[in-house]
Amino acid sequence: MIGLLQRVTQASVEVAGETVGEIGTGLLVLVGVEKCDDASCPAHLLERLLGYRVFPDEAGRMNRSLQDIGGGLLLVPQFTLAADTHKGTRPSFSSAAPPEVGKALFDEMLCLARERHPHHVASGVFGADMKVSLVNDGPVTFWLQVHPRKT
């Protein structure tokens, strides 16, 4: 499971001209689900996102997490993150999870986020044509990827 996180001062997502999710200071995370992902991935990725230290402390160093600052979290499903771009000039989506699996794992992550992050959590709409607006603070952008945990 992939999370492309961006530290933002504000972000929103629109579907059919209507704002369906927005946050102030926090993280906008584009979420991609791969074929190999399983039920362990949403919790693992969320744990990393909530604790990842990308916000400045008093000295200006990236030492504070989303949980530390009480910031907003905007999760946006984006299957194109799972594209294989190694060859040619057109992406292959053979490594992306089927839509029903992607939706289930994204929905699970969103549900867990609302349980575990007591601050504002918003989301885009799986499978919709979305318009995402953001003010990237820094700019700060990181690619996080988790793999199924072995049991």
Catalytic residues: 78-80
In eight-state DSSP terms, residue 137 is E
Please give the Cα distance from 69 to 58 (Å, whole number): 12
Estimate to the nearest angstrom the gap between the alpha carbon of 109 and the chain centroid: 9
Please give the Cα distance from 126 to 105 (Å, whole number): 11
Please give the Cα distance from 150 to 132 (Å, whole number): 35
